[in-house]
Amino acid sequence: MITRPATYWTVLFISLQERLVYRGEFAMSTLMRFLPIITQIFLWQAIFSAIEVERGSETIAGYTFHGMIAYYLLTTISRAFSSMPGLASGIARDIRDGTVKKFLIQPIDMVSFLLVRRLAHKLVYYMVALGPFALVFFLFRGFFEGWPEPHVFAGFVLSLLLAFLLGFFLEATLGMIGFWFLEVTSLMFVYMLLNFFFSGHMFPIDLLPGIWGDLVRLLPLQYLAYFPAAVFLGRVSGPALAAGLATQFAWVVFFAVAARVAFHFGVRRYSGFGG
């Protein structure tokens, strides 16, 4: 690519400013994101109290009550990195209304451009969200068993960064489907549902019994929410951790390539139709 780094700085800066305009909504939506967790805490408290009384057990699939809540809190961090609201639908819209053409004319690579923009969005989000996140984790510190060992924490951070990249390239690839099908909204909704349930956002995927669990573990979705949280909690360690990170990285590479390939063929098809 011939684009100078300075161009990307400008993109970054303008995007930062653009995002800050939507003030109140920002802070509000960040805080509200934790509201469902409160319900989850009470739900699981009720469930754990019931199994203790009825079955005399204190764990579900290896999770204690505290471990379960810590897991949910950690998945909010994973999601803060991996969720890409509006990315795929935005790409599909750009393709539909022809905005995508500007990337064919201007000397800037669309995938990189979107990545930098998304980075800006995320940076602004973290700036605003850091406060609420710190507050929530401080309030709920009782659910954690202290900080993990340095190398585990390093693995956690690495898996978060990879989760960001995976989330980005996966959604970008989905958005490229817009080159072939004009209406992708329904497809996006299905993806959102699958993501919600099988990334580990709704419940730890180890809860899934038998074949279901095996199937879900084959999908890349678990690396968007479940995997970083599991690393932090020490449920994945040693060789499994290394293998997990390697698999996550492999998925990132796969979708990074897939997004570009899809773009390449999509554009060819697009210009073939005369745009």
Partner 1 sequence: MAVIETDQLAKSYRVYRKKEGLGASLAGLFRREYREVEAVRGIDLRVEEGEFVAFLGPNGAGKTTTLKLLSGVITPTAGTARVLGHVPWRRENAYRRRFALVMGQKNQLWWDLPAAESFRLHQEIYCIERDRFGQTCHELCEMLGVEHLLGQPVRELSLGERMRMELIAALLHSPEVLFLDEPTIGLDVVAQHTIQQFLREYQRLRRVTILLTSHYMRDVAALCRRVVIIAAGRIIYDGPLDGITGHFSGQKIVSLQLADGEMPTGLERLGEVLESRPPKVRICVPRGEVTRVLTHIFAHCAVQDVSVEDPPLDAVIAEVFSRS
Partner 2 sequence: MDNRGLSQFSQHGDPRPNQPPGDAAKTGLSPSAPPAPLRPSYTRVAYTFLRNSLVRDMTFRANFLIDTISSMVWVLMNLGFYVLIFEYTPMIGAGTGWGKYQFFLFLGTTLIINSLTRGLFLANAIELSEHIRNGTLDFILLKPIDTQFLVSLGRIEWSALGPLGFGLVLMLHSFGQLGYAPGPVTVVLYVFYLACGCAIYYSLMIAMSSTAIWFGRNRSLLDFWFYITNFSRYPMEIYRGPWGDPLRWTFTFLVPVLVAVNIPARMLVRPLDVRTAADWTLPVFTIVATLAGLAVSRWVFQRALLSYRSASS
Q: Which stretch binds partner 1 (CB under 8 A): 19-27, 75-83, 158-166, 249-257?
A: 19-27
- Residue 228 CB coordination number (10 Å): 31
The reply to whether 25 sits near partner 1 by the rule CB under 8 A is no
Distance of CA 210 to the CA centre of its chain: 26
The reply to whether 25 sits near partner 2 by the rule CB under 8 A is yes
- Judged by CB under 8 A, the residue of 186, 239, 273, 274 near partner 2 is 186
The two three-digit tokens of residue 39, written as one number: 């319900």
209-221 exposure pattern, b = at least 16 Cβ within 10 A, e = fewer = eeeeeeebeeebb
The reply to whether 152 sits near partner 1 by the rule CB under 8 A is no
Q: Which stretch binds partner 2 (CB under 8 A): 75-83, 84-92, 202-210, 244-252?
A: 202-210
Element (H, E) at 132: helix 110-139
Interactions with partner 2, residue window 44-103 (CB under 8 A): 45-47, 49-55, 60-61
With left for phi above 0 and alpha for psi between -120 and 50, is residue 66 left, alpha or beta?
alpha
Between CA 68 and CA 20 the distance in angstroms is 35
Q: Which stretch binds partner 2 (CB under 8 A): 6-14, 150-158, 183-191, 217-225?
A: 183-191
Q: DSSP character for 177?
A: G
Element (H, E) at 197: helix 185-198
Distance of CA 4 to the CA centre of its chain: 29
Over the Cα atoms of the chain, what is R_g?
A: 20
User: What is the widest separation between alpha-carbon atoms in the chain?
Assistant: 69
Between CA 221 and CA 268 the distance in angstroms is 30
Q: Which does 207 bind (CB under 5 to 8 A by kind): partner 2, partner 1, none?
A: partner 2
Q: Which stretch binds partner 2 (CB under 8 A): 31-39, 88-96, 148-156, 223-231?
A: 31-39
Shorter beta-carbon distance to partner 1: residue 13 or 42: 13
Minimum Å gap between C-beta 246 and partner 1 is 40
- Judged by CB under 8 A, the residue of 6, 21, 53, 218 near partner 1 is 21
The reply to whether 38 sits near partner 2 by the rule CB under 8 A is yes
The reply to whether 208 sits near partner 2 by the rule CB under 8 A is yes
Q: Which does 28 bind (CB under 5 to 8 A by kind): partner 2, partner 1, none?
A: partner 2
Between CA 248 and CA 134 the distance in angstroms is 27
Minimum Å gap between C-beta 106 and partner 1 is 24
Q: Which does 7 bind (CB under 5 to 8 A by kind): partner 1, partner 2, none?
A: none
Phi, psi of 237 (to 5 degrees): -145, 170
First-to-final CA distance of the chain: 24
Binding site for partner 1 (CB under 8 A): 13, 16-17, 20-21, 23-24, 27
Binding site for partner 2 (CB under 8 A): 24-25, 28-29, 32, 35-36, 38-39, 42-43, 45-47, 49-55, 60-61, 185-186, 189-190, 193, 196-197, 202-203, 207-209
